[in-house]
Amino acid sequence: MWLPAVTCFAAVLSSPSQWPETVGCDERTARFVVKHLLVLTLFPVAAFYRFNRRIFWSIEALFQEKGSYGRVQAVGKIRETSPYELYHFLQAFLHAAPQMSLQMYILLRDNTFRNYDTVTAQIVSVVFSFLTMASIITSYQRFESQKIVGKCYPWSSDHQVAARKREFLRSTSTAESLLASAKRNPLEGDPVVPSIMKNFYSKYGEVPSTPGSKIINVDPSNFDRKSSKELTDPYANFTDDDKLEVADTVDSQSPTVSFKRDLVEHIDEIRQYVRQTDDLKLSTIAPDSSDEEYENPVELEQTFDRPPRTPAPPTPAANVFKRASVLRDIFVFDVECFIKSHVPRLPEGMFEHDRKQDNENADQTDGDALSLPSRRQMITGLEEDDLVGKAVSFTGWVMFLLMRMIALSVFYVFFPLYFWMVCANHYLLMIACIIYEVRFHEKLERYYFYLFLAYIYLFSLLEFKIKFIHVRTWYVGYVTLVFIENIAMSVLWYNLGAFESWWFDFLHYLTIASGVLSLLCLLFYYAFLRPKDKVLFVN
C-alpha cells in the first residue's frame, strides 16, 4: 500500500525540474520538501483532495455557458498538472494489480474461513482495482504518440509545461499555418526573380545599349540561291517566319516603317552573303565527283544533307599505357569510395578546436542567396480521444483485464509452479521486445524503467516512454500472445484441476465471454473511434 507513495516521493525529489528555480537552500525549497513529506505521510488524503478538486471544477464547468471565460477557466483548473497524477499512475500497477490478484486468490482458495463482511470488502476491492487499472490504461494507451505532438506529462511542473509549449510552438507548425503563410497576391511578382537577375548581372555584367545602334541577326539557313534571285520586292509576302530579329533602340513612332527601311538598306548585304555562302559550299565538293549531281540547283541543298561517299577514318586504338592509366584511375576511385564508406572517422568537435571564420576572407556568393524549396521533416502523432472513444476503450480494457486476471488467479490456485513459469517467460519476452524496439530511437540507459515497463506488460500494453515503430505489429502480437496464454491456462485448469464448486464453471465461461467482448470492443474502437493522425512540420 505504501509502495506507490514512496516511489512517487523518490521520483519527485530526484527530478530537478520539480524543484523551485532557486540556487541553494531557502524558504521555498524547505516548503517544497515539507509539502511532499506531508503528501507521503497522508497520501490517501492527497489522493482524495486531487479527485475532489477535479470533480468540483468539472461541475462548475457544466454550469457555465459554452465558450465563456468561466468555462475556459474551469477546464484549465481541471487540466492542471500535479505530482499526485504520478501517484495515481503508480498506484494502478504497484498497488491495484497485486491487490486484485491476491484478493481473487483468497476468494478462490478452499478451506478458508469467510464471512459476509470480509467477502464484501474483498469484492469491492477487486472491482475498484479493475476500474483503476482500466482508467489508467485508457488514459496512457497511446501517450507517447500524443506527447510528440504537444501533450505534456500530467505530473510536470508549471514552468516545465510553459517551457515545453514555447519550444513546441517555436519548432513546429501545422499544415494549415504553412498554407496560410505560403499564400500571396497573384498580382505580386515572384520575390525570387530579382535575386536571380541580380546574381546573373553580378556574374556576367549588363550589356549597355548605345542609342542609335541597330542589330540585325540573320539566319543564313533560311536563304538559298533560288529564293534570293526571285526576291524582287522586300515588302511582298513578308511574314514572321522569315526569322529576322530586329533590335532597334531608337525611339520611333512607326516601328513597322522602321523595320521595312532597315530591310531595304541591308538587302544587298544579305544577297552578297548568300552568294558567298553558296560559293563556299560548291568549293567544298570533291573534284572527282560527277557534275551531274549538282546540275539541278533545286537539289543542291538536298545534296549537302547526304552522308559522305568516302568512309570515315578508323578509330585510334588506345595503347597499353593509356589503358593502364584508366585502370589506375578506376582503382583509386574504388579505394576512395571504400575508405569513405567503411573506415570509421573521429567525431567532429572531439578535441574542441575553435574554428573562427574570417568574414572578410570568406567566399561571398554573387547576389542574394536563393530561397529554394526544401523537404520538411514531418512529425506524425495522434490527437486525444473523444468521449465516445474513451468510453468504448475503457469498456474494452475492463473486459481484457477481467479475462487476464481470472485466468492468472485460477491457474495459480491449481498450478502455482507453472504459473510462475508462465509469468517469467512472458516477462523476459517483453524485455526482449522492448530492447529490440528502442535500439534505434531511444537510449539504452533506462534499464530500470524498462524492467518496470515489462512488468506492466504482464497485464496490458502501453505506449509509454517509448515510441512504437510498428504499432499494429505490437498490438496484434501482444493481444494474440495474451489470448493464447489465457486460453491455454483456462483449458489446463478446467480439464486437469480438481474442483467441486460451481464457481469455477462460472469463471471459465466468464473468461471466454470477457475475452470475446474485449476483442469486439477493441476492434470497434480501432475501426471507427480511433483518433485521427496529427501531422506537424519541423521549422
Question: What is the b/e burial string over 394-420, where b = at least 16 CB atoms within 10 angstroms of the residue's CB?
Answer: bbbbbbbbbbbbbbbbbbbbbbeeebe
| Bridge partners, residue 538, by sequence | 172
Q: Where are the domains of the chain?
A: 112-206+383-539, 208-281
Q: Which residues contact 175 (CB under 8 A, 6 or more apart)?
A: 535, 537
Strands (E) in 134-293, as ranges, are: 172-174, 214-217, 245-248
Q: Residue 349: left if φ>0, alpha if ψ -120 to 50, beta else—which one?
A: left
Give the pLDDT confidence score for residue 417 in this predicted structure: 93
Quick one: which of 27, 88, 150, 135 has its CA closest to 397?
135
- Give SS3 for 498: coil
Q: Which residues partner with 381 through β-bridges?
A: 534
Local structure of 486: helix, strand or coil = helix
Q: How far is CA 363 from CA 192, 360, 366, 442, in A?
A: 22, 8, 9, 40
List for the chain the helix, strand, coil content (%; round to 5).
60, 5, 35
List all residues 6 or more positions away from 163 whose beta carbon is below 8 Å from its beta carbon: none
Q: What is the pTM of this model?
A: 0.63
Question: Which phi and psi angles does 331 have, rounded to 5°?
Answer: -65, -45
pLDDT at residue number 477: 94
What's residue 274's pLDDT? 63
Mean pLDDT, 10 residues at a time, over the chain (539 residues)?
A: 84 79 72 84 84 89 86 88 87 91 85 77 90 92 88 84 83 71 53 60 53 48 48 48 43 46 62 64 50 49 61 71 76 80 62 48 47 70 88 93 93 92 95 85 68 92 88 93 94 87 88 94 91 81
Residue pointed to by grid coordinates 593509356: 322
Are 77 and 158 within 8 A, CB to CB? no
Q: Which three cell numbers stand for residue 297?
A: 540547283
